[in-house]
C-alpha cells in the first residue's frame, strides 16, 4: 500500500503539468493554426542561430478572454551574453555582403511574411488584442518596409562634395554601426521591429530584438520566419537574434506600488505584476538585482539601441546609453491632438476622429487623445461623434466584423477607470462610455469627455486607453499653442479648408510635432515617411525618408590624388 501511495504521489506533478498544458489555447483544436507558426505549449525564447533559453518560463494571455495561450522560456543573462557575442560575430559576415545582396535577403523575408500574413495577423490579434484587420495590417507594414528596404539597398550613400584644394576629392562614406538592439512595445509587436530591422539589415547591421514579455509568442513566431530565410541563404542566423525577457534584459524598471508589492511597470513594454516573473520580489531583492536590469541599455557592444516605450523609461534608457556615449533611437509617448476649425468638412472629421481615438482601443502611440473643436461647431460635432461611437461593433478581435477589441491587460482597465474618475473630479462630463463592459476579457467602453479646460492635469496625461477629451477653442493662435503645450510631440492634425491656415500650421509657429497632418487622422502613418516625434517623444525617426542614416555612421573622407600637399583655408606651413 505504501508503494502504491508513493507511485501516485510521484505521478501528481506530471498529471498537474498535463492538466495545465491542456488549458493552454495552443493545445485546443480551435487554435491548431498556431502550430503553423511553429508554436507549441512551451517555446524557446532565445535565438542566435540556435534556439534555446535558460530563464524563467512566462505565459502569455489572450486579452479578449484572459485565457493562457502558451508559454515562453525567457533568456537568462548568460543567454544574453552568448547571444550578443554570436550577433557580433555574425555582423562580420553580414557587413561584407554587398548592400544589394543584403536587400535581396530582406526581400525574401518580406515574401516569407506575405505567405504567413493571415496566420501571423491572427496571432497578433489573439495575443495583443487588436482587431484582425489591424493585426494583418501590422504584418503588411513589415512587408511594405521590406519592399522599401530592397530599393534603398541600391541607393544609400553619401555625396561627392567639391573640394577647395586642387587634385583632391571630398566624399562622404556611410558604414553600418554594427549591432542594433531593438526593444519593442506590446501595441505593435511586429511592425516596429520591422521598421527597425529591415532598414538596419540593408545598412549592414546585425539586430538583437527584445519584444514585450506579454507578446513573446509573436516575437518567437516572427523570428522563426526570419531564421528560415537566413538559414536558406546560408548566412548566420544570429544576424537577427532574439532574447525574450523582462527588464533585466532590456532596461531599468520603474518602481511603483501595486497591492503592496514592488513591481516593474512600464505600460508600453508591459513589465506588470500579473505577467512579470519578478512581480513578487522584495525591495532588498530588487536592490540586489537592479544592476542586472540594464543589460542592453548599458552594454557598450550595443552600437545603437532603438527603444519604443514610455517616456518615463525612455528617459532612463537615454541617460544610461548617453553615459557610455552610445547611440539611442527613442520612440516614446504621444498626447496627440486633432483641431477642427469652423470651415472643416465634417464628413471627414467624424470618421477621422473615430478611427484616431477608438482604433486599437486607444492603444496606439498616435491615438488622438485631445479633440479641439471651434466653439461654433462644438455641440454639433460632439453629438455626431457620440452617434458614431454608438455604432462601433465591439467583440472578439479575430471576428472580421469587429471594429473594437479589448485593452491589453487587466491593469490597463484599472488605468482607464482611474483616468475617467480623475476627469470627473477635474470638472469633466462623460458624454459617452466611461465604464467597463460586462463580458470576459479586458473590455471597456470607448469614452468621450467634455467640459475640461485645455490645461487640466488629466488632459496633459497620456492614458493608454480609448478616452477622448473634447475641448473648445475660439482662435487659431490659442489652439496652436494648446496643441504644443503638452510634453510630447508625436502626431497632430487640423481640419480646415483655409490654405493660409494650413501653411501656418506646417510652419515654424504651427505644430511642434514630428507628424503634422491636414484633413486626416493623427494615426495611420505611411512607411515612406520618417516616423517619430519631438520633445518627450524622444526625437527618434524610423522607417522611411532618410531614417536609414540613424543606423549608419558617417565619415568625411578627403583623398589627395595629386603630387602636391595644399592645406585647407590656404594655410602655408613651411
3-state SS, one letter per residue, for 193-226? HHHHHHHHHHCCCEEEEECCHHHHHHHHHHHHHH
Catalytic-labelled residue, pool 82, 141, 271, 331: 331
Q: What is the pLDDT of residues 318-345, one digit of tens each?
A: 999 999 999 999 999 999 999 999 999 9
The sign of the dihedral angle between the CA atoms of 555, 560, 565, 571 is negative
Task: Please state, as a whole number, how many other Cβ atoms lie within 10 Å of the Cβ of residue 297.
Answer: 27
Q: Which residues pair with 243 in a beta bridge?
A: 46
pLDDT of residue 255: 29
**With the C-alpha atoms ordered 376, 377, 383, 386, is the resulting torsion angle positive or negative?**
negative
Distance CA 350, CA 357 (A): 11
Q: Which residues pair with 368 in a beta bridge?
A: 336
51 has which bridge partners? 47
What one-character DSSP code corresponds to residue 436?
B
Question: What domains lie within the chain, and their CATH numbers?
Answer: 336-526 (3.40.309.10)
Q: Is residue 278 classed as helix, strand or coil in its secondary structure?
A: coil
Percent of the chain residues past pLDDT 90, beyond the cut: 85
CA distance 568 to 64: 67
Distance spanning both ends of the chain, measured CA to CA: 104
d(CA 531, CA 448): 28
The C-alpha cell that represents 473 in the structure block? 477653442
List the single range of 3-17, 141-155, 244-258 with lowest mean pLDDT: 3-17
CA atoms within 13 A on the CB side of 435: 6
Of all helices (H) and strands (E), which one includes residue 516? strand 515-518
- What confidence tens digit (pLDDT) does each residue in 201-226 have? 999 999 999 999 999 999 999 999 99
Classify residue 462 as exposed, middle or buried by CB count within 10 Å of its CB (0-12, 13-18, 19+).
buried
Q: Which three cell numbers mark 118?
A: 493571415
Task: Residue 415: name the closest of 382, 463, 466 by CA.
Answer: 463
This prediction's pTM:
0.91
Handedness of CA 538, 541, 542, 543 (dihedral sign): positive
Q: Which residues contact 321 (CB under 8 A, 6 or more apart)?
A: 297, 305, 327, 328
Per the DSSP assignment, residues forming a β-bridge with 176 are 552
Condensed to tens digits (0 to 9), the pLDDT of residues 125-153 reads 999 999 999 999 999 999 999 999 999 99
Closest CA to 289 of 259, 254, 252: 252
The pLDDT tens digits for 152-201 are: 999 999 999 999 999 999 999 999 999 999 999 999 999 999 999 999 99
Q: Are 31 and 25 in contact (CB under 8 A)?
A: yes
By percentage, how much of the chain surpasses pLDDT 70?
88
Q: Is 331 labeled as catalytic in the residue annotation? A: yes
Amino acid at each position: 500500500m505504501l508503494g502504491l501511495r508513493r507511485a501516485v504521489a510521484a505521478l501528481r506533478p506530471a498529471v498537474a503539468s498535463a492538466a495545465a498544458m491542456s488549458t493552454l489555447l495552443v493545445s485546443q483544436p480551435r487554435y491548431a493554426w498556431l502550430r503553423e507558426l511553429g508554436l507549441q505549449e512551451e517555446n524557446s525564447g532565445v535565438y542566435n542561430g540556435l534556439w534555446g533559453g535558460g530563464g524563467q518560463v512566462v505565459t502569455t494571455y489572450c486579452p479578449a478572454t484572459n485565457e493562457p495561450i502558451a508559454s515562453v522560456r525567457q533568456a537568462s543573462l548568460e543567454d544574453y551574453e552568448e547571444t550578443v557575442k554570436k550577433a557580433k560575430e555574425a555582423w562580420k559576415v553580414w557587413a561584407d555582403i554587398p548592400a544589394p545582396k543584403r536587400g535581396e535577403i530582406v526581400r525574401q523575408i518580406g515574401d516569407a511574411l506575405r505567405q504567413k500574413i493571415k496566420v501571423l495577423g491572427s496571432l497578433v490579434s489573439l495575443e495583443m488584442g487588436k482587431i484582425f484587420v489591424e493585426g494583418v495590417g501590422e504584418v503588411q507594414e513589415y512587408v511594405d518596409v521590406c519592399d522599401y528596404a530592397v530599393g534603398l539597398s541600391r541607393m544609400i550613400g553619401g555625396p561627392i562634395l567639391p573640394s577647395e584644394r586642387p587634385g583632391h576629392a571630398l566624399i562622404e562614406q556611410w558604414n553600418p554601426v554594427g549591432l542594433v538592439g531593438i526593444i519593442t512595445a506590446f501595441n505593435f509587436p511586429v511592425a516596429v521591429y520591422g521598421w527597425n530591422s529591415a532598414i538596419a539589415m540593408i545598412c549592414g547591421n546585425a539586430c538583437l530584438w527584445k519584444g514585450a514579455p506579454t507578446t513573446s509568442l509573436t516575437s518567437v513566431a516572427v523570428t522563426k520566419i526570419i531564421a528560415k530565410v537566413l538559414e536558406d541563404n546560408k548566412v548566420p542566423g544570429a544576424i537577427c537574434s532574439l532574447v525574450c525577457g523582462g527588464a533585466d534584459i532590456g532596461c531599468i524598471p520603474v518602481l511603483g506600488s501595486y497591492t503592496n508589492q514592488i513591481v516593474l511597470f512600464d505600460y508600453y513594454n508591459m513589465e506588470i505584476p500579473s505577467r512579470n516573473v519578478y512581480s513578487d520580489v522584495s525591495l532588498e531583492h530588487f536592490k540586489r538585482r537592479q544592476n542586472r536590469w540594464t543589460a542592453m541599455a548599458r552594454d557598450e557592444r550595443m552600437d545603437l539601441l532603438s527603444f519604443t516605450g514610455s517616456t518615463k523609461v525612455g528617459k532612463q534608457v537615454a541617460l544610461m546609453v548617453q553615459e557610455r556615449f552610445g547611440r539611442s533611437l527613442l520612440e516614446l509617448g504621444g498626447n496627440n491632438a486633432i483641431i477642427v476649425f469652423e470651415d472643416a468638412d465634417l464628413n471627414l472629421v467624424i470618421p477621422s476622429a473615430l478611427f484616431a481615438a477608438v482604433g486599437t482601443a486607444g492603444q496606439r502611440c498616435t491615438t488622438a487623445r485631445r479633440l479641439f473643436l471651434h466653439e461654433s461647431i462644438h455641440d454639433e460635432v460632439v453629438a455626431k461623434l457620440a452617434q458614431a461611437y454608438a455604432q462601433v461593433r465591439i467583440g472578439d478581435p479575430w471576428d472580421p466584423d469587429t471594429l473594437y477589441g479589448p485593452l491589453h491587460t487587466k491593469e490597463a482597465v484599472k488605468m482607464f477607470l482611474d483616468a475617467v474618475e480623475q476627469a470627473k473630479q477635474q470638472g469633466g462630463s462623460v458624454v459617452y462610455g466611461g465604464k467597463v463592459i460586462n463580458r470576459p476579457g479586458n473590455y471597456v467602453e470607448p469614452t468621450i469627455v467634455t467640459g475640461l479646460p485645455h490645461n487640466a492635469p488629466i488632459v496633459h496625461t497620456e492614458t493608454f486607453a480609448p478616452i477622448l477629451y473634447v475641448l473648445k477653442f475660439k482662435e487659431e493662435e490659442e489652439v496652436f499653442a494648446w496643441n504644443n503645450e503638452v510634453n510630447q510631440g508625436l502626431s497632430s492634425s487640423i481640419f480646415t479648408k483655409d490654405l493660409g491656415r494650413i501653411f501656418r500650421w506646417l510652419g515654424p509657429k504651427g505644430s511642434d510635432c514630428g507628424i503634422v497632418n491636414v484633413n486626416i487622422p493623427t494615426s495611420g502613418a505611411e512607411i515612406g515617411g520618417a516616423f517619430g516625434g519631438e520633445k518627450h517623444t524622444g526625437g527618434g525617426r524610423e522607417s522611411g525618408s532618410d531614417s536609414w542614416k540613424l543606423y549608419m555612421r558617417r565619415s568625411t573622407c578627403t583623398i589627395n590624388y595629386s603630387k602636391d600637399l595644399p592645406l585647407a583655408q590656404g594655410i602655408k606651413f613651411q
